[in-house]
């Protein structure tokens, strides 16, 4: 019994060891790290191959195929619902079909059927709706997203071709993925990272990447806290090296209650005015990113600060006036 337990522990150690080394390890390295003979490693690898997607490269390195590796996680019903809502929000916010999102929802639904059959069936039905939706099937987009994901997870640079809408040109980059985030504007997925040798971050819209290839060059991604601080003042994904800017908006009585119901930004402060209107204030890294949201409130919002944003809204109002021929 003790021998079997020790063997199980060794197999778990080997699994964790291979997960910690995405490029794989040779049998001699595994033997040294686990403190066992190479012949024992060979037996362990044979046993793990039965239930883990192991592969061995031409250089003798043994690794785990992360595309096929299944991680085990235990969730409460409330945690499951949180993941379901996040998955639905992601699929609703992007206009391209992602089969991985549908598969994740289906697995989540199936796992809940044993103790919450109604919710489990609802989530499974949602996976069917995602698969049958009219979102665009784009194999190039999906392949690019999968490559970026692998580069991020394994800390490997990605060689990519990105189309710039400003210049109209395709540019080739070596790119280190720091994070991948959904973005409501344009219903898109954005990759944030750096090119080697550059000081500033780049944000690349995934559906504008025509080609992505994983390289063997590695990088050290920043810790999550660093990216959180970088984006802390952003309205969405636009960041700045300068200090954040005070944005002050005045909302009409008609929409004040709707504005109060939501935390639009962590720094927001709201003040009720005597006439029923609402004064909303926040410190934003790049106020231009707020323009579509502000414009969506129409005449029920007035930009008080900053002056540049107020002037842009005034110019927008003049254009609308000319379009609708009103005085």
Which CATH number goes with the domain that contains 310? 3.30.70
Measured CA to CA, the distance from residue 235 to residue 249 in angstroms comes to 14
Domain extent for 178: 139-230
Establish if 315 belongs to a structural domain: yes
Q: Which DSSP string corresponds to 13-44?
A: HHHHHHHH-TT-B-HHHHHHHHTS-HHHHHHH
Domain boundary among 32, 64, 96: 64
Domain boundary among 132, 151, 177: 132
What's the token pair of residue 246? 């005070």
Establish if 215 belongs to a structural domain: yes
Q: Give 10-residue mean pLDDT values along the chain (327 residues).
A: 59 84 86 85 86 84 83 84 85 80 88 86 85 80 93 93 87 92 80 90 91 93 73 80 90 96 94 96 92 92 95 91 78
* CATH code assigned at 18: 1.10.10.10
* Residue 255 pLDDT: 96
Looking at the structure, tell me whether residues 226 and 276 fall in a common domain. no
* Residue 2 pLDDT: 41
For 264, list phi and psi in degrees, rounded to 5: -80, -30
What's the token pair of residue 46? 């044979």
* Residue 326 pLDDT: 60
Looking at the structure, tell me whether residues 182 and 152 fall in a common domain. yes
* CATH code assigned at 226: 2.30.30
Looking at the structure, tell me whether residues 220 and 147 fall in a common domain. yes
Count Cβ atoms below 10 Å from residue 252 Cβ, excluding itself: 17
Looking at the structure, tell me whether residues 269 and 308 fall in a common domain. yes
* Residue 176 pLDDT: 95
Establish if 71 belongs to a structural domain: no
* Residue 213 pLDDT: 96
Quick one: the chain helix, strand, coil %, rounded to 5?
A: 45, 25, 30
Q: How many domains does the chain have?
A: 4
Looking at the structure, tell me whether residues 150 and 223 fall in a common domain. yes
Domain boundary among 179, 196, 230: 230
Secondary structure (3-state) at 71: coil
Secondary structure (3-state) at 236: coil
Looking at the structure, tell me whether residues 216 and 280 fall in a common domain. no
Looking at the structure, tell me whether residues 81 and 156 fall in a common domain. no
Looking at the structure, tell me whether residues 7 and 53 fall in a common domain. yes
* Residue 225 pLDDT: 62
Looking at the structure, tell me whether residues 119 and 197 fall in a common domain. no
Sign of CA dihedral 312, 315, 317, 320: negative
* Of the candidates 78, 77, 44, 75, the residue with the CA atom closest to the CA atom of residue 62: 44
């Amino acid at each position: 019994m003790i021998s079997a337990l020790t063997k199980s522990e060794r197999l778990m150690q080997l699994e964790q060891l291979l997960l910690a080394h995405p490029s794989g390890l040779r049998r001699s390295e595994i033997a040294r790290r686990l403190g066992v003979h190479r012949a024992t490693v060979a037996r362990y690898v044979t046993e793990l191959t039965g239930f883990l997607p192991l592969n061995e490269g031409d250089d003798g390195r043994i690794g785990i195929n992360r595309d096929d590796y299944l991680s085990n996680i235990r969730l409460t019903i409330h945690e499951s619902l949180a993941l379901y809502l996040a998955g639905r929000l992601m699929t609703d916010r992007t206009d391209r079909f992602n089969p991985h999102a549908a598969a994740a929802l289906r697995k989540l639904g199936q796992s809940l059927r044993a103790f919450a059959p109604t919710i489990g069936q609802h989530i499974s039905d949602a996976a069917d709706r995602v698969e049958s939706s009219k979102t665009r099937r784009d194999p190039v987009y999906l392949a690019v997203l999968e490559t970026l994901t692998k580069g991020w997870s394994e800390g490997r640079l990605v060689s990519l071709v990105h189309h710039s809408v400003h210049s109209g040109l395709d540019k080739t980059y070596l790119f280190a993925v720091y994070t991948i985030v959904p973005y409501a504007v344009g219903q898109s997925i954005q990759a944030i990272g750096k090119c080697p040798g550059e000081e500033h971050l780049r944000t690349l819209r995934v559906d504008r990447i025509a080609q992505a290839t994983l390289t063997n060059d590695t990088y050290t991604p920043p810790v999550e806290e660093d990216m959180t601080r970088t984006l802390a003042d952003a309205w969405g994904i636009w960041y700045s090296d300068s200090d954040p800017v005070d944005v002050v908006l005045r909302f009409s009585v008609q929409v004040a209650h709707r504005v109060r119901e939501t935390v639009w930004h962590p720094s927001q402060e709201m003040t009720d005015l005597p006439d029923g209107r609402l004064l909303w204030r926040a410190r934003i890294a790049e106020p231009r990113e707020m323009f579509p949201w502000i414009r969506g409130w129409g005449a029920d919002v007035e930009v008080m600060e900053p002056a540049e944003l107020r002037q842009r809204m005034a110019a927008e109002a003049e254009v609308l006036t000319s379009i609708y021929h009103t005085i």
